[in-house]
Structure 1
C-alpha cells in the first residue's frame, strides 16, 4: 500500500543488473526496501520498490513574490 506522494516501481531485469538498477533508483528517489522475486522462467528477477519523489510538489515550493 502506498500513501500520498508515494508510488510503486516494478522492474524486470537480469539478476546481474539488479544491484545497479536498485542503486540508480535509490539515487533518483527515496525508496523503501527492495522486494525481489524470480520471474516464472527463472531467468530474470522482478524488483518491487515503494518510492517517493524527492522533488517537492510544485504547490509546495516557495514562491518569491518580489520578482
Structure 2
C-alpha cells in the first residue's frame, strides 16, 4: 500500500484517448506522473497513475461573538 488515501489507477485505452482520460482523472483526483506502456498486442496503451483523494472542503460555521 502506498499510503492511507493514495492508490493506483490502471487503465487500458486506445492511444488517442490518453490525454482525455488523464485530464478527467486530474480533475477528480490529485494525480502524479502518468506512466504509459503499450499492451502486448501493441494496439492499446496501459496507463498507470498514482492518485490521492482530494480533501473535502472544510465546513465553516459562523459563531456569533460573545456579547
TM band (smaller chain): 0.7 to 0.9
Could you tell me how far 1:55 is from its partner in structure 2?
A: 3.3
Q: Whose helix fraction is larger, Structure 1's or Structure 2's?
A: 1
Q: Which runs of 4+ in 1 moved over 2 A?
A: 61-64
Cross-structure match for 2:22: 22
The CA RMSD over aligned residues, in Å, is 1.7
User: Could you tell me how far apart the structure 1 residues matched to 2:29 and 2:39 are?
Assistant: 25
Structure 1 segments unaligned to the other structure (5+ residues): none
Q: How many residues align?
A: 61
Cross-structure match for 1:8: 8
Structure 2 segments unaligned to the other structure (5+ residues): none
Q: Which has the larger radius of gyration?
A: 2
User: Could you tell me how far apart the structure 1 residues matched to 2:43 and 2:60 are?
Assistant: 50
- Does residue 1:53 correspond to 2:59, yes or no? no
Say which SS state the counterpart of residue 55 (structure 1) adopts. coil
Say which SS state the counterpart of residue 19 (structure 2) adopts. helix
